[in-house]
Structure 1
Amino acid sequence: MNPSVSFTAGGNILIVGGGLVGASLAIALDAAGCQVTLVEAAAPRADAQPSYDERNLALARATVNGLGAIGVWPLVAAQATPIRHIHVSRAGEFGSARLDAARHGVDALGWTLPARELGAGLLKRLNDCERLVRLAPASLVGLEKHPGGWRAQIKTADGIQFVDAALLVGADGTESFVRAQLGIEADTHDYQQTLFVCTITPERDPAGRAWERFSDEGPIAMLPLSERRCGLVLTVPSDIAADVAALDDADFIALAQQRFGWRLGRLNRPGRRHPYAIRRVAARKLIASRAVLVGNAAQTVHPIGAQGFNLGLRDALTLAEMVADAADPGSAALLVCYAERRAPDREGTMAMSHDLVRFACMAQPLLSPFRSLALLAYDRVPPLQRALARRGMGFRGEPPRAVLERLP
């Protein structure tokens, strides 16, 4: 007989997906005293050696507060770089918007952090969890509904195991198997854009400044990193992505320089480029009977403004907060309340990223004065400036208490 993990259906939670959002949710639920099983596709490992080319994350202030609340931020803070200023503009147009941390009474609007470092911090916290059961490497291969919840069939290195859960959480990414098994449809929009991400070293120190610059070809962003480096995020039309990928370093950096300008002087030393096709995937609903979607399984947004993980963590921390206060984590009433509570943040963030790409990158000269005036209004009108800063820092709708209670 194959080994199995079987719990009574009283309050057990099964999380499918051990990425950044799934791991954060598991930690938060364990701290709240919940019985949780986490299914991770890859075996746990921590890369010990840093790399010039590693992927970097832009973490909103609310995200850092939330990571602090679950005990992860103290493990990674030394490797993070504060973002104290943000400059938003469009090529060839006169308007710009600037956000300054000091103007809003905070020490930083957000932080950049190597994804490897956050992963290692989450892994260390997972190892300290007392109630958590981790299956890794493992994959969900089947689901059976019963009145008290779900029986999940999990393929592991030791064979098939079965997990009974009162609540099933799909945190398994854009191509979510859980979402498909639940029969939840998703709307997809192909932006016909490809993102190139790499690390560069500019002539001038970014000194805590981040830039987002729009053009007809798409946005380009520059994020401050440690050791005077920057994380470059360059968007190009997908029909020329193969040509851009084939450029040598000199030609690639010339393209980035032409798109970004000379605010940091000459750009140098481009690292290995990582291309990503960009599309928006939004689940038509977040919940099903005793099941819920979080993170990219619920919504994958355009990377403009770096909202993906930030939005997903707010999903996770809101769910953990509500489950911790509930007798039955999978009750229909709880899940309906969760979906309603997340709606303003989720829908507002998705609309912002989608509309901003369409409005700011549309090759339409008649829009030019309106775009410039809009940026100037966000820069000069205090209520608009405060709203922009608050949303940029991740405080939208009814945030989870964890992001409000702790400061980094």
Structure 2
Amino acid sequence: MPAAAPSSRPLEPAPSSLAREPGRHDVLIVGGGLVGASLAIALERIGVDVGLVEATPAGELPAVFDQRNLSFAEATINALTALGVMQKLRAPTGAIRRIHISRRGDFGRGVLDAARYGREEFGRVVVARDFGEALEARLAEATGLTRYRPVRFIGLAGEEEGHRLVRVADDNGERLLRMRLLVAADGTRSPVRDALGIAADEHDYAQTLFVARLRTSQAPDGTAYERLGDEGPTAVLPRGDRHYGLIHAVAREQADAVAAMDEAAFLERAQSVFGWRAGRFLSCGPRSAHPAIRVIAQRTSTPRAVLIGNAAQTIHPIGAQGFNLGLRDALTLAELIGDARALDTQADVGSASLLDAWLSRRHDDRERTVRFSDGLARLTANDAPLLRPLRSLGLFVLDRLPSAQAWLVGGAMGYRGDVPALCREPRA
């Protein structure tokens, strides 16, 4: 955590917000993780009065900012650069210049090369903790933001004069916050989503994903590998510290046994599944384990409230689309609010018309990305013999048919559907 991070007393607004009516905001975001913090920066940047409810105290990062490896699409990098976040990264990032896709037991492969499309790279690999520190440094510069931390969301308390009322609490008790628009960015098991009465559909892929930093005999050369198999994907991603980021899926019933392996046994297992394209696996850092479960909210809005990020959709990490999709949801919302305020400084940021416009703009991207992630996860993990020649044919076509590659490249770079303007701006 950067030393410049401001401290805050429980439930009290930051000094820059004392001139505003305490506890009343245009937008209140519950959840200070990847997407929630990014939205707070985007809204504060255009002059919206924002409150951010965070479970962690000042001086700490949320648990999501760990050693996981995040694949930022080009569109995501464009947007985060425009918001002043990428410039705050202190650790090097890893360029993704090529994407190599194969499946264990099937013939064929697919290789996407950024140079073929006139690009230096498709995106970058960023360590989640490094990103969290960059977000915190950028949040510390925000003057129109009230941070409530450490604070818990307790529940809803009705509506009043065009505002939603929310109950929050810390160790000193409860209070009410009022906002024109409530944004749930509080994760897969979202308490706000539950309080709003929005149901979610779940699918357990019966996989556990082990994540670690990986050192191999060959330094990363900009190639991101996706090795598919019966138990799920094994991804090897080029980091900026001359290591790779490893994501290794195992069948759920094997997870405890894999977790108990020593380093040598774990590396041998991962190597046997992945192969030798990145050289010999030499060592890895501490491993963390995460169940692969899809959770899709049946709705992403209700009067004066929206869901974004994992609260709206938690998808399989195959294809690395989760954060990129959530950020596009957030930035589209910020763009619509900014457009409305440009026409009328008193525009209601939680109006039904604005939320309808947001739903309309985000529908195609969300639906297609969720279907793509789910379909790829199910198809590639299915060991039915009849599917093998079809998958091999698919990899053959992908490697040689420009139109098939172009469709995948557009999605991999974040340009799917109606993309927010910040995502399309060239990087500085």
| TM bracket, shorter-chain basis | over 0.9
Q: Residues 170-249 of structure 1 correspond to what in structure 2 (within 5 A)? A: 170-249=184-263
Cα pair 1:83 1:112 within 8 Å, conserved: yes
Q: Could you say which residue in structure 2 is the equivalent of 1:60?
A: 73
Q: Could you say which residue in structure 1 is the equivalent of 2:414?
A: 394
Deviation of 1:59 (Å): 1.1
Cα pair 1:11 1:328 within 8 Å, conserved: no
Counterparts of 1:322 and 1:10, CA distance in 2: 21
Cα pair 2:102 2:226 within 8 Å, conserved: yes
Q: Does 2:151 align with 1:141? A: no
Deviation of 1:77 (Å): 7.0
Q: Does 2:350 align with 1:330? A: yes
Deviation of 1:11 (Å): 6.7
- Residues 146-181 of structure 1, C-alpha deviations (whole Å, 9 max, x = no match): 151211111135532321101000000001011001
1:387 counterpart SS class: helix
Counterparts of 1:304 and 1:79, CA distance in 2: 24
TM-score by length of 2: 0.90
Counterparts of 2:90 and 2:396, CA distance in 1: 34
Q: Could you say which residue in structure 2 is the equivalent of 1:81?
A: 94
Cα pair 1:207 1:228 within 8 Å, conserved: no
In structure 1, what residue type is equivalent to 2:175? Answer: Q
Q: Does 2:47 align with 1:27? A: no
Q: Could you say which residue in structure 1 is the equivalent of 2:173?
A: 159
Q: Could you say which residue in structure 2 is the equivalent of 1:268?
A: 282
Counterparts of 2:24 and 2:171, CA distance in 1: 28
2:349 counterpart SS class: coil
Structure 1 pair 227–168 and aligned structure 2 pair: CA distance change class (3 A):
closer
Q: Does 2:419 align with 1:406? A: no
Counterparts of 2:371 and 2:336, CA distance in 1: 25
Cα pair 1:10 1:328 within 8 Å, conserved: no
Q: Could you say which residue in structure 2 is the equivalent of 1:384?
A: 404
Structure 1 pair 129–3 and aligned structure 2 pair: CA distance change class (3 A):
closer
Q: Does 2:361 align with 1:348? A: no
In structure 1, what residue type is equivalent to 2:383? Answer: A
Q: Does 2:326 align with 1:319? A: no
Deviation of 1:370 (Å): 1.1
In structure 1, what residue type is equivalent to 2:398? Answer: Y
RMSD (Å), alpha carbons: 2.0
Q: Does 2:90 align with 1:70? A: no
- Residues 11-39 of structure 1, C-alpha deviations (whole Å, 9 max, x = no match): 71110001110000000000011001000
2:140 counterpart SS class: helix
Structure 1 runs not aligned, ≥5 long: none
Q: Residues 364-379 of structure 1 correspond to what in structure 2 (within 5 A)? A: 364-379=384-399
Q: Please, which of 295, 298, 321 is the counterpart of residue 309 of structure 2?
A: 295
Counterparts of 2:81 and 2:11, CA distance in 1: 37
Q: Could you say which residue in structure 1 is the equivalent of 2:378?
A: 358
* Greater Cα shift, 240-249 or 154-163: 154-163
1:370 counterpart SS class: helix
Structure 1 pair 4–115 and aligned structure 2 pair: CA distance change class (3 A):
closer
In structure 1, what residue type is equivalent to 2:127? Answer: P
Counterparts of 2:186 and 2:173, CA distance in 1: 21
Deviation of 1:323 (Å): 1.1
- Residues 178-221 of structure 1, C-alpha deviations (whole Å, 9 max, x = no match): 10010000000011110001111111122111100111121110
Instruction: Percent identity, please.
Output: 47
Structure 1 pair 169–73 and aligned structure 2 pair: CA distance change class (3 A):
same
Deviation of 1:3 (Å): 7.5
Counterparts of 2:59 and 2:395, CA distance in 1: 44
Counterparts of 1:44 and 1:398, CA distance in 2: 36
In structure 2, what residue type is equivalent to 1:319? Answer: L
Structure 1 pair 4–60 and aligned structure 2 pair: CA distance change class (3 A):
closer
Deviation of 1:258 (Å): 0.3
Structure 1 pair 8–115 and aligned structure 2 pair: CA distance change class (3 A):
closer
2:289 counterpart SS class: strand
Deviation of 1:407 (Å): 2.0
Structure 1 pair 242–3 and aligned structure 2 pair: CA distance change class (3 A):
closer
* Greater Cα shift, 288-297 or 326-335: 326-335
Deviation of 1:309 (Å): 1.1
Counterparts of 2:388 and 2:11, CA distance in 1: 64
Deviation of 1:54 (Å): 2.6
Q: Could you say which residue in structure 1 is the equivalent of 2:343?
A: none
Cα pair 1:81 1:112 within 8 Å, conserved: yes
Cα pair 1:9 1:148 within 8 Å, conserved: no
Structure 1 pair 10–228 and aligned structure 2 pair: CA distance change class (3 A):
closer
Q: Please, which of 96, 108, 122 is the counterpart of residue 109 of structure 1?
A: 122
Cα pair 1:13 1:36 within 8 Å, conserved: yes
- Runs of 4+ aligned structure 1 residues displaced above 6 Å come to 2-6, 8-11
TM-score by length of 1: 0.95
Counterparts of 1:301 and 1:205, CA distance in 2: 30
Q: Figure out how many residues of one structure are paired with residues of the other and give that number.
A: 403
Structure 2 runs not aligned, ≥5 long: 1-9, 14-19, 341-346
Counterparts of 2:174 and 2:92, CA distance in 1: 39
Cα pair 2:101 2:227 within 8 Å, conserved: yes
- Residues 350-378 of structure 1, C-alpha deviations (whole Å, 9 max, x = no match): 11111001111101111111111112222
